[in-house]
Chain A
Amino acid sequence: MFVHEYQAKKLLKRFGFYFPDGEVAHSAGEARALIDRLSGDEWVVKAQILAGDRGRFGGIRKADSASDVEKETRNLLGSTLVTPQTGADGIKVNTVYIEQAVKIECELYLAILLDRYQRELVLLASQRGGTGIETALEDAPDTLHRLTLSVDEAPDEAVLLGLADKMGLSGELVNDYVDTCSNLHRAVNELDALSIELNPLAVVEDNRLATLDVKMEIDDNALFRHDEYSEIRERNRLHDRKFRAQSGFNYVQLEGNIGLLVGGAGLALATMDLLKLHQLEPANFLDLPPIATRQDVANACQTVLQGASVDALFVNAVGGGLTHCDTIAEGLITVHMQEKIRCPIVVRFAGTKREHGLTLLKNYRVPIEHAETMDEAIDILRRKNRR
C-alpha cells in the first residue's frame, strides 16, 4: 500500500531525516490555528492524495500569512485534484499537510526501491530531482545512478561517497548525503518498504539536505510485523473508492457489461483477453483469494452484480488446488437465495468438484447455462449479448 506524504514523514522521523516543520489539518480553522506552532513566516499547503505530480496541477499552494493558509486550505479541502497519475476522475482532497516553506538551492532525487524486473533492491540517485523526474530521466538516462543493495548489509560507505561526488556535492553536504543514504537503507529494511522516494531531496538554506516530499510504498505482506500500519491502512482504505480490497479480493470496475467471476488472477486475465478477442467487454476485473470460502465468493459475486451495467454474468472456474467448483457454486447459491440474480448466468466449471458444483446449482434452481469449455461459454455470451 502507498501511504500519504504526512504519514511517510511521520514514519521516517526516527531515522534521522531532516524535514521542514509541518502538521496535518482536516479543516481551515484547524489550519489557521496550527500556524502559531510552526516555524517560519511562509508556508506551503499540500493536498494529501495518493498520487504524484500534485505541484504542477494545483495541489501545492504557497501562503505567507495565517489567513492565507486558512484560505488555501479551504480551497483545497473537498476539491478534486486531477493529475496525470490520478486518472480522469481525479481524487478528492480530504487532508492537507502544512509545512514551513524553505529556500531551495538545488533539488536531487534519491530512492531505494524493489526493482521488480531485476528482482533486487536498488538505490537510485539523480541530480535532476523535483517534478517531472520521469521525463527528465527519459531524456537523459545516464544521469540516473544505480546501486544494487543487500537487504541487511549496510551500503558501502566508499561507494556512497562516490555517489555524493556524482551529485556535485561538497563540504558538509557530502557527509549529510552519505548519512541520508544509510538512513534510507535502514528505513526500508526496518519499515518493510517496497519503495521510499525522496523527491526532492533538496539542498536548502543553512547548507543542509532537507527531504521536501516522500513517496512510499509498504509491503502488504509484511503488515503482520508492523502494528503501526493498521491505523494508516484503515484510514486510507476509506477514501479509496476505485480499487476495493475487501475480505481479501481485488476488484476493479471496468466499462463493459459482462460481469466476471473467475477463480485465480491468471485465468481472470485470460478470460478478459478472450472476451476482448470476441468483441465482448468485461465489466470488471476480479481476483478471488487463493483459498476462497463460500462467503468470499458470495461477496465477490455481489460486488460484481452491483457494478454499473452488468447484462450477463460469466462464472469461469477450474477447480484446482485450493478452491473447488462446489465452493464457487455455494457462493452463487448464497447470493441467489438472498436476492434472485436476474441477468443470464453462464457457468463454465472444470476440474475438482465440477459435478458436485453443477448438481448444487441445479438443486437450488439457480438459472444457469453450462458451458463445457471457454469457447462454448463465449458462444453463449455472444448470443445473449446480441439480444
Chain B
Amino acid sequence: MSILINSRTRVLCQGFTGYRASFFAHRAIEYGTKIVGGVVPGRGGQTHLNLPVFNTVKEAREQTNASASVLFVPPQAAKDAVFEAIDAGIELIVCITEGIPILDMLRIKQHLQNTSARLIGPNCPGVITPGQCNIGIMPASIYQQGKIGVVSRSGTLFYEAVAQLCREGLGQSTCIGIGADVVSGMTFVDCLKLYKHDPGTEAVLLIGEIGGAVEEEAAEYLASLNYPKPVVAYIAGRNAPPYLRMGHSGAIIAAGRGGTDKKIEALRDANVTVVNSPVEIGTTVRRAVR
C-alpha cells in the first residue's frame, strides 16, 4: 500500500521534450512508472520517448486518462501550466520547477481552493512509491519498499535520511519531497493526514528545517488528535547563520515562529520523537517502530 501514487498511476509530463524532462521521464519509465504522454504547446501530434505529445493538458487527459502530471516547465510559464493542469482535472500535480515568482504561487494557491487537486512543490524533488512509481527527479535506486512514510522540505537531506533508513533495513511506503519554498502546495499536515489512513505506512519521518511554520502546524495537528502511528522528525538549521534566520522581511509577524528551538519544542510536546543529530535519523526511526 501507499499514498498518492502507485503502480497504476498514469502520469503526464508537462514540458516533456526539454532536456531535463526527457532525462527524468526516461528514468521513470525504466523504473516502471506509467508515463503515458507529454504536453508541449505547439508540438501536439509528435511522439517523444515513444509516447504521444499533446498541445494541451485537457486533450492529453482525455486521450490518456492520466490522473497525475509532473511539470518541468520554466518559471515564466509555470503559473499557466499549473492552472492548466488544475482546470483539466489532474488530481496530482508535481511541480519540479524552481524560481517561480511568489505572487504567482499565491495565485496558484488561490486557484487550488475549491478543487480537489493536490500540488506537490514547487522546487521539489517529487514523490516516489518505491518499486511502483517515481514522479520527479529522485534517484530511485536509493529507495527500498517498506513501511516508513517520509516527507521532506529539503532534497539532499531527504536522500541522506532515506539512505540511513535503508542501512537500518527500513524500506519506505511513499516518500514526498514537498520543497522548501515559502509558498507551496502540500504541507506536512496534508501528508500526515494521508499516512494516517494508509495500512502500508507504519511510521512517519518528517525532515524539516528552519523558517516558515509548517513544522509548527504539524505539531499542532498531531497534538490535536491521537495519531495512530509513531512520528519521528529531524529539523535542520539549529546553527544556521543569522542571515538565514532574519534575512527576510516581515519580522513583525514572525511572533516567535520559524526558529528551530520552537519547532522542536512544539513537536516534542506533540509526542514526536525529535532526532538530535543528523546521523541518527535511521537508528531513531528503527527504535520508534520496534
Q: Which residues of A contact B (CB under 8 A)?
A: 2, 87, 111, 113-122, 124, 133-134, 137, 144, 146, 150-152, 188-189, 192, 194-195, 197, 215, 217, 219, 221-222, 224-225, 242-243, 252, 254, 262-267, 269-277, 282, 285, 290, 317-322, 350-352, 373-375, 378
B237 at the interface (CB under 8 A from A): yes
Is A269 in contact with B236, judged by CB distance below 8 angstroms? yes
Restricting to B75-114, which residues have a CB under 8 Å from any CB of A?
Answer: 75-76, 98-104, 106-107, 109-110
Q: How far is the CA of A259 from the CA of B151 in the complex (A)?
A: 29
Given A321-B136, A351-B139, check contact A116 B241 (CB 8 Å): no
Q: Shortest CB–CB separation between residue A217 and chain B, in angstroms?
A: 5
Q: Which of A120, A242, A275, A350 contacts B163 (CB 8 A)?
A: A350
Residues of chain B having any CB pair with chain A under 8 Å: 20, 24, 75-76, 98-104, 106-107, 109-110, 123, 125-126, 136-139, 141-142, 152-160, 163, 180, 182-184, 207, 209-213, 234, 236-244, 247-255, 257-258, 276-279
- Residues in B neighbouring A277, C-beta threshold 8 A: 276-277
Assuming the contacts A270-B160, A273-B237, A276-B238, asked whether A219 and B101 have C-beta atoms less than 8 A apart, the reply is: yes
| Listed A/B pairs (11) with beta-carbon separation below 8 Å | A119-B212, A120-B106, A121-B103, A194-B102, A197-B249, A219-B101, A265-B180, A271-B278, A273-B239, A273-B277, A320-B159
Q: How far is the CA of A51 from the CA of B158 in the complex (A)?
A: 35
Given contacts A318-B160, A320-B156, contact A152 B107 (CB under 8 A): yes
A219 touching B249 by the CB < 8 A rule? no
Residues of A within 8 A of B234 (CB): 270
Report the Cα distance A308→B252, complex, angstroms. 34
Give Cα A111–Cα B49 distance, bound, in whole angstroms: 50
Task: For A376, give the chain B residue with the smallest CB separation.
Answer: B279
Alpha-carbon gap, A292 to B284, bound state (A): 32
A322 touches B139 (CB 8 A): no
| B75 with A221: CB separation less than 8 A | yes
Interface core residue of A124, A151, A285, A320 (most chain B CB under 10 Å): A320
Nearest residue, chain A, Cβ from B257 = A117
Interface of A is mostly: mixed
Q: Within the complex, what minimum Cβ distance (angstroms) separates B209 from chain A?
A: 6
Closest to B136 in A: A321
Q: Which residues of A contact B157 (CB under 8 A)?
A: 264, 266-267, 269-270
Determine which of A2, A114, A242, A266 lies in contact with B155 in the assembled complex, contact meaning CB atoms within 8 Å.
A266
Closest chain A CB from B87 CB (angstroms): 17
What is the bound-complex CA distance between A319 and B139, given in angstroms?
A: 8
Determine whether the beta carbon of B75 is less than 8 Å from that of A267.
Answer: no
Give the chain B neighbours of A221 by CB distance below 8 A. Answer: 75, 99-102
- Evaluate contact between A320 and B155: CB separation under 8 angstroms: yes
Given contacts A122-B253, A225-B101, A374-B279, 11 further A-B contacts (CB under 8 A): A113-B249, A115-B250, A116-B212, A119-B212, A215-B249, A224-B75, A267-B236, A269-B154, A272-B237, A276-B238, A321-B155
Chain B residues within 8 Å of A114, by CB:
102, 106, 182-183, 249-250
Contact yes or no, A267 B156, CB < 8 A: yes
Q: Please tell me if the beta carbons of B154 and A117 are within 8 angstroms of each other in the complex.
A: no
Q: Measured between C-beta atoms, what is the minimum distance from A376 to chain B in Å?
A: 9
A121 to chain B: closest residue by CB: B106
Whether A117 contacts B136 in the complex (CB less than 8 A), given A151-B103, A320-B159, comes out as no
Q: Are A321 and B102 in contact (CB under 8 A)?
A: no
Q: Are A119's CB and B183's CB within 8 A?
A: yes
**Cross-chain contact of B159 among A113, A222, A273, A318 (Cβ < 8 A):** A318
Is B154 a contact partner of A243 (Cβ separation < 8 A)?
Answer: no
For residue B159, give the distance in angstroms from its CB to the closest CB of chain A: 4
CA distance A195 to B103 in the complex (A): 11
Of the residues A188, A222, A318, contact of B156 by C-beta under 8 Å: A318
Taking the closest CB of chain A, its distance from the CB of B119, in whole angstroms, is 13
Q: Which residues of A contact B106 (CB under 8 A)?
A: 114, 119-121, 151
